């Protein structure tokens, strides 16, 4: 297929592009190179893709006109671009970055007669959970970010129904690994350790997260593009929740050092526990995570060390 990937120069986007190319697809990447993180980091993400056969990149802001050339002759769109992070901005910023871009992508896909759209959503739509959550539980997002991702899902479903588009939604749980976004906890821990800086630790460190290795997330995305059920939503996670403090201790062991952790109040906009029920993804996609946290963190550290060598 010819597949458009928005946010192609980002952390997950660059891995998804690589995985799609490896599976024999043609990939058209779109990225706006916003100021959320430095362009040189995104250029590093793209280093292998720029040399790859079958990859084209358009530097376009999804909220502006001019998407037609990128969408021409595409069979599918993977919409990964958006405004990430619970603490990443105001409600207006999240609505533009997550809801506005989703509306623009679905409209462009309809005009180009694209058959399928895969939308990146987030575990943040669920809110508090006492047990692994299934995709059909009522969403209760705690943050403005989570609300914006849920609204993006609803907007996408409405437009897909109106225009006859195949829509699949993926809810990712805390993705990590090589090239992780610099605002995320593991990347900040590694950077602080190397720079001799301090790092705030929000809460008691016992909050549980269902960490997902980025290559597992990319594989799930590729499979969903190829054969996900129309109208379905799938959880994508590592399948084994781990306490944040234990994960950071693992990182410190691989680094051989650790930053000074400064206690800070837990952010009430984040649930204390995230855990996904992966039954639907296993049964319908034939997908399951393969990489455990220990291996994934080791590879993230190796990549970070190589980047500054």
- Catalytic residue numbers read 145
Closest by CA position to 48, among listed 94, 14, 11: 14
HSE at residue 297, side-chain half, CA atoms within 13 A, is 21
Report DSSP state, residue 283: I
b vs e for 211-233, b when ≥16 Cβ sit within 10 Å of the residue's Cβ?
A: bbbbbbbbbbbbbbbbebeeebb
Measured CA to CA in angstroms, residue 218 lies from 21, 35, 224, 279 at distances of 12, 24, 10, 18
Q: What is the spatial order of strands in the sheet that 166-172 belongs to?
A: 55-59, 26-31, 2-6, 76-79, 116-122, 166-172, 233-236
b vs e for 85-120, b when ≥16 Cβ sit within 10 Å of the residue's Cβ?
A: ebebbeeeebbbbbbbbbbbbbebbbebebebbbbb
């Amino acid at each position: 297929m010819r597949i458009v990937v928005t946010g192609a120069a980002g952390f997950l986007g660059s891995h998804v592009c690589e995985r799609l190319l490896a599976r024999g697809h043609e990939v058209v990447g779109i990225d706006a190179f916003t100021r959320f993180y430095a362009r040189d980091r995104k250029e590093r993400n793209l280093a292998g893709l720029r040399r790859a056969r079958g990859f084209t990149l358009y530097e376009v802001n999804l909220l502006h006109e001019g998407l037609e050339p990128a969408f021409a002759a595409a069979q599918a769109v993977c919409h990964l671009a958006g405004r990430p992070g619970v603490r990443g901005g105001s409600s207006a910023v999240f609505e533009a970055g997550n809801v506005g871009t989703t509306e623009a992508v679905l409209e462009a896909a309809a005009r180009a007669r694209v058959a399928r759209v895969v939308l990146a959503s987030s575990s943040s739509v669920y809110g508090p959970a006492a047990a692994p959550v299934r995709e059909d539980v009522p969403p209760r997002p705690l943050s403005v970010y989570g609300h914006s991702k849920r609204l993006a899902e609803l907007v996408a479903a409405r437009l897909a129904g109106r225009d006859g588009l195949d829509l699949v939604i993926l809810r990712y749980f805390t993705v990590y690994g090589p090239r992780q976004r610099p605002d995320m906890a593991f990347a900040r821990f590694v950077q602080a350790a190397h720079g001799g800086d301090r790092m705030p630790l929000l809460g008691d460190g016992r909050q549980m997260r269902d960490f997902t290795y980025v290559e597992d997330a990319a594989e799930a995305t590729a499979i969903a593009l190829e054969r996900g059920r129309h109208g379905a939503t799938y959880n994508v996670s590592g399948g084994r929740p781990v306490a944040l403090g234990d994960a950071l201790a693992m990182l410190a062991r691989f680094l051989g050092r650790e930053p000074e952790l400064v206690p800070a109040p837990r952010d009430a906009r984040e649930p204390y526990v995230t855990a996904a029920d992966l039954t639907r993804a296993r049964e319908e996609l034939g997908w399951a995570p393969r990489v455990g946290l220990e291996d994934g963190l080791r590879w993230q550290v190796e990549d970070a060390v190589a980047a500054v060598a």
